[in-house]
Structure formats: structure tokens, C-alpha cells
Amino acid sequence: MLSGKFRSALVIGGQGIRARKLRTFLSMVSLFLGVLAVVAVQAGSEIAERAMLTDVELQSGKDGTVRGYVPGEKGAPAIVESTLKGRSDAVAMISSNAIIGEPGVRPINEGGMPFEYAGQGRGYYGPNMICDSNGTCHEQKQPEKKPDGQAIEVNMVALTGDIRPFKPFRPVSGSWLEFASAPSLAPRIVLNEEAAKGLRQYRVPGEMTIEGATHHVTPQIIGVVQDGDMQPRVYMRLDELRTWMPSATETTNPNQFRGGGTSLELFLQPGTDDLQQLLKAKLVGAGVPQDQMQFQTVKSKERMESELRIMRLIFLGMAFLVLLIGVAGILNVGLATVGERVEEFALRRAVGMSRMLLAGIVLAETLLTGLLTAALAIGAGAAGLQVALMMFGSRFPSLVGTAFPWEAGVAGVIAGLVAGVLGGLIPAIRAAKIPIATVMRA
């Protein structure tokens, strides 16, 4: 239950605001911009952080995910596949190269480079280098040049399960792979935007040549996703790929892995230490050197927060300065109002109100004004965000569906309260010091 004093302060504070609507409005105008600045800075930094995090998550995986790198040799893919079979808390990605289009020709974007650089040769990645065990490297001899043809080269990623709980790919069109049904002989593939761009840009036959496969494959394109990668990439089920491979995707040639051949990447949910240990034990048992296996937890948020902190502090400092101008406005109006209300305050004290409560009433009025302004500024911020998303959302896909961050709302309320206290404190002290006898005798 609220105390009598608190209720009295609220009732009288409310009466004061109603009685001086114009003054309250003027106080709110000066404060509005300050609170809005705080709300905008907080909302902006939260949204920027989320947008950056979303982009990072597309490539690195969600925060807390354990990411593992294992050489794709010595039967590692088969071991990983059998260990992860039927598990939803871990997914493996086996990457290789594939060519979609005419077989036996030089693809338009040789090496799987972005189409923006198509036709510039392998210069995009630089020459292929081969290093011996002593660390001496030399340029790999270029293979025999093939004739130019209608084909594009993509990075092909075979998945043991749904990767989206780890990497939140954004759907662009069609559907994503489903892993519950029986594998199809015509592998279903999902393109990333760059691969889709290549297929849109160049008319290539619907035939796919997968590195190491025994036959050419006719894939079914079922969807397009945004995966945050610049390189053209296609995703498919590993079991559908298996049909076309001689005996898993392993290779006995270690150089093939380094030169863009098979690579193996693992995504494990936090708290799957047992699985991690099991995988390591099996792989070491199969002869994979332990020092070539890496497992690390994704900590993108922590890294980004430290990057954003300084920027956020600078902007919040600027917003605080704007807020101070608003506080000065409230203070100015508050002092003028106390001067006008000397008789009222003296009378209230004469009828039994204590100095403390009188000060509380003046503070209650400025606090209510601050809160009201904060509510308006938060509303304006949320509305502004919606308008901005409607106008510019298509240019920034990571912002689509962004909600107004609650942190900005909290910051706005705190700013309103702080401004109310700072702006009302001196008028409150003055009101409490009004001498009843002098005023009532005048």
C-alpha cells in the first residue's frame, strides 16, 4: 500500500501539472530532445550490435557454439558422420568444390571466386602454394588450361544435419533442406545469394560436377538463403552426396585439403563436452594428429561489445549533454513556478504539510513530467524505427524484423527520471524553505 505522504504527493503533483499545462508542455519540449537522444543512441547501438552480431553469426556461428576444425583425411569425414548420426546438438559441414554447368570446361569464376571478379583468373586468391615439412613453399604448377565454357564453380557444403540452429541463415526464396526424409538420388541443393546470382547471370546447364564424385549429378535447386558469404556456395545433405562418391569424401592426398579440397568443420552446442571428447578419441585413434584438430567457443558478442563500448560511450556522452539542456529547461521552468506558487506552498505548509513532503510534491511534478516525456520520446523512437525500417529496411536485410530494443526503453525511462530529479531538486529545496509566516502575513 502506498503511504499517505506518497499518495498526497502524487495527487497534488498531478493537480499542479493539470493546472499549468503550458508550462509542463514547455518543460517537456526542452526535455524531449534530450531523452530522445538517449533513446536513439541506446536503440541505435543495440540495433547495430544485433545487426553486426547477426552478420557475424552467419559466418562464425551463434555465440557460445563450439566450433571445431578437423582435417578431412584418414577417414575423418566418415568417423564424424557416423558419430553425429541422429544427433541434433552437433552438425558437421564437409566442404569441397563443385562445378555447375558444362563438364570439362574452365568455369566463368574459376576457383569459386565471387562473380564480381569473374574473368580475372586465379589472381583473386593468389597463386596456389605448396609447402613442404620444412616450411619451404613454392607456387603450385598450374594445371593444364581447359577451354572456356558455360559453367560456374561453387563451394559445395555437405551437411550432416540442420545447420541453422548454429548459423541462422536467412531464407531468401524457396525452402531449406530437410533431413527427416530418405535421401534423394538427385541431390537437393540450396544456393547462397552469390551462387544464385551466378545462375541468374549466366545460362549454365543443370549439371553438377563434384570434386571426387564418380558421375555427374543433376541437382534439384530448392531454395536460396543469405549465408553472409561472398563466395558462391551450395548446401546439400551429406547422405545425398554420399550416393555419388566412391568411398566417403576422404582423400589420401594431403595437399588436396590445403589446395581447396575437402575440409571438415564441426558445430557443437554448448555443454557437449562428452561428444567433443568422443570425437577427438575416435579421430586420434584413426590417425588424425591431435594438434591438427581445433575446437574453440564462438565469443563474437564479447569481442564486439568491447569494440562497440567506446563508440557507445561517446554517443551517450553527447546524448547526456543534450539531456542536460533539457534539465536546464525543467530547472528554469521549475524555479519560475516556485516563485509563482509561493503562496500556495506556504498555505500547504500552514495546513499541516511538512517541508519534506512539499519538496516531494515539487519533485513528483518534475518526475511525472520527466516520465511523461520519456514515454513520448520512447514512443517517438519506436515509431521512428518503424518508419526507418519501412524506408531503408530493404537495403539492410539484417535489420528486417528488428524490434525496438527494450534496453532503449529502459534508458529513456532512466533519462526521464534523472532529468526529473536534477531539474526538480533545486526548486524542491526552495519550495521547502518558504517561510510561512512571512508569506501569509503579506
Partner 1 sequence: MTQSFEQPTVQVQAPLLQLNGITKVLKGQGEPRTILSGVDFTVHPGQSVAILGRSGSGKSTLLSLIGLFDRADEGQYYLHGNDITKLPERRAAALRSAEFGFVFQRFFLLKHLTAAQNVAMALVNGQGWSSPRKRKQQVMEALEQVGIAHLSKSKPTRLSGGEQQRVAIARALVRKPRIILADEPTGALDTETGNLVVEVLLNTTRQGCGLVLVTHDHDHARKMGRVMELRDGRFN
| Residue ranges in contact with partner 1 by CB under 8 A | 3-5, 7-9, 11-12, 15, 18-19, 343-344, 347-357, 435-437, 440-441
Q: Shortest gap between Cβ of 317 and partner 1 (angstroms)?
A: 39
Name the residue nearer to partner 1 (CB basis): 5 or 170.
5
- How, if at all, do strands 90-101 and 170-174 pair? unpaired
CB 323 within 8 A of CB 416: no
Q: Shortest gap between Cβ of 365 and partner 1 (angstroms)?
A: 13
Name the residue nearer to partner 1 (CB basis): 195 or 358.
358
CB 189 within 8 A of CB 154: no
Give me 235's grid cell.
548446401
Q: Shortest gap between Cβ of 6 and partner 1 (angstroms)?
A: 9
Q: Shortest gap between Cβ of 435 and partner 1 (angstroms)?
A: 8
Q: Shortest gap between Cβ of 440 and partner 1 (angstroms)?
A: 6
Name the residue nearer to partner 1 (CB basis): 246 or 352.
352
Backbone angles phi, psi at 102, to 5 degrees: -60, 135
Phi and psi based region of residue 112 (left: phi greater than 0; alpha: psi -120 to 50; beta: remaining): left
Give CA–CA dist 47/375, Å, rounded. 20
Name the residue nearer to partner 1 (CB basis): 79 or 338.
338
Name the residue nearer to partner 1 (CB basis): 199 or 353.
353
- How, if at all, do strands 151-159 and 233-237 pair? parallel
CB 265 within 8 A of CB 95: yes
Name the residue nearer to partner 1 (CB basis): 25 or 406.
25
Residues 6 or more apart whose Cβ sits within 8 Å of residue 120: 113
Interior/surface letters 173-207, b for 16+ CB within 10 angstroms, e for the rest: eeebbeeeeeeeeebbbbbbbbbbbbbeebebeee
Give me 378's grid cell.
520512447
Backbone angles phi, psi at 295, to 5 degrees: -130, 125
Q: Shortest gap between Cβ of 5 and partner 1 (angstroms)?
A: 4
Q: Shortest gap between Cβ of 416 and partner 1 (angstroms)?
A: 25
Name the residue nearer to partner 1 (CB basis): 206 or 435.
435
Query: What is the CB-side half-sphere exposure of residue 350 using CA atoms within 13 A?
Result: 13
| DSSP 8-class letter at 123 | G
Name the residue nearer to partner 1 (CB basis): 12 or 38.
12
Q: Shortest gap between Cβ of 425 and partner 1 (angstroms)?
A: 19
